[in-house]
Amino acid sequence: MKILNILLILLLSACALNANYADSIDQLNDFDLCFPESGRISILKINEKIAIQKAIIKEKAKRNLTCDGYSNFVSGEENLKSINQEEMDRKLGKCRLGISKPCRYD
């Protein structure tokens, strides 16, 4: 019985955390609005993600936020693709040309 109660409390807590996330969008800083996938949104179901994305779009419009100040940040996915491509090029022995330097095989 105690285990059932504990599971029930955990389940209700998890639901409450997700519900509060949509309500707290106006309290997010600009960086989190520009990169919402870095927060708790990544663990939500698709319907919840859509609702939160809509709220984020509205909040960005309200703040007149364009995220141009963060253009030098690369997303984790893009960074991982770049690392994977470099590793594949290294394994395949692709030539890397340097400025006025001969071909390098890392």
Q: Mark whether 10 and 53 lie in a shared domain.
A: yes
Q: Mark whether 62 and 105 lie in a shared domain.
A: no
The number of domains in the chain is 2
Select from 35, 50, 66 the last residue of a domain.
66
Question: Out of 28-32, 45-49, 64-68, 76-80, which region has the weakest mean confidence (pLDDT)?
Answer: 76-80
Q: For 74-98, write each residue's pLDDT tens digit.
A: 666 777 888 888 888 878 877 766 6
Q: Mark whether 36 and 85 lie in a shared domain.
A: no
Q: Mark whether 84 and 103 lie in a shared domain.
A: yes
- DSSP labels, the chain: -HHHHHHHHHHHHHHHHHHHHHHTGGGS-HHHHH-GGGTGGGGS-HHHHHHHHHHHHHHHHHHT---GGGTTPPPHHHHHHHHHHHHHHHHHT--BPPTT---B--
Structural domain for 91, as ranges = 74-106
pLDDT band at 63 (very low <50, low <70, confident <90, very high): very high
Kindly report the pTM of this predicted structure. Answer: 0.49
pLDDT at 67 over 90: no
